[in-house]
Structure 1
Amino acid sequence: MGEISIKINIADRVYPLRVDTEEEEVIRHAAKLINEKIKELQDNYAVRDKQDLLSMCVLQYATGMIKAEKSATSQDVGLERSIHELDNLLTDFFKK
């Protein structure tokens, strides 16, 4: 489609962005999740500095992303193994 200009508010700061129209919803949702996580961290810990809250938020999201990538890789390996086993079974079946 095309690019549009939007403004995203994260931790009480506004960031003007140019994004593809298809990405707007995802970016707005991501900003919402970040702000919710910052609020949660602020409520649960005695941290008030926005930079510290943003750092803690980024650390949690990065950790989650790394775990998800490892899990996906492990699932891919398991799927590949299952496909090879199925292929071997079918090969043996059709040889008979």
Structure 2
Amino acid sequence: MGEISIKINIADRVYPLKVNMEEEEVIRRAAKLINDRIKDYQENYAVRDKQDLLSMCVLHYATATLKAEKRVINEDTDVAEKVYQLDQLLSDFFSNK
């Protein structure tokens, strides 16, 4: 699909973007998550500087991303181990026939 022009508001600043049509919803949702997180930080911490709020938000999402990546790697390792064990069982089964 083609590119479209959209405007995204993050921390009271508007950013014009050109995005693929299929990415628009994800980008808008991401901007909403960021703005909600900033609002949460403003309400719960004595921080008013937008740069500090954005830095805290970036740290939150970067940490979440790294945790998710680690979880995926661990799950992939677990699946690979299970496949190896199944392969061994099948090999043993068919070699005894």
TM range (shorter): over 0.9
- 2:62: which partner in 1? 62
Matched, 1:76 2:71: no
Matched, 1:8 2:8: yes
1:1-96 paired onto structure 2 within 5 Å: 1-96=1-96
Query: TM-score normalized by structure 2?
Result: 0.97
Whole-angstrom CA distance in 1 between matches of 2:78 and 2:47: 42
- Equivalenced residue count is 96
Shift of 1:21: 0.4
Root mean square deviation, CA, Å? 0.5
- Counterpart AA for 1:95: S
Query: TM-score normalized by structure 1?
Result: 0.98
Shift of 1:95: 1.6
- Deviation string for 1:41-95 (max 9, x for gaps)? 1000000001100000000000010011011101111110000000110111112
In structure 2, the gaps of 5 or more residues are none
Structure 1's consecutive aligned runs of 4 or more residues displaced over 6 angstroms after TM superposition are none
In structure 1, the gaps of 5 or more residues are none
Query: Helix, strand or coil: the match of 1:26?
Result: helix
Whole-angstrom CA distance in 1 between matches of 2:8 and 2:49: 20
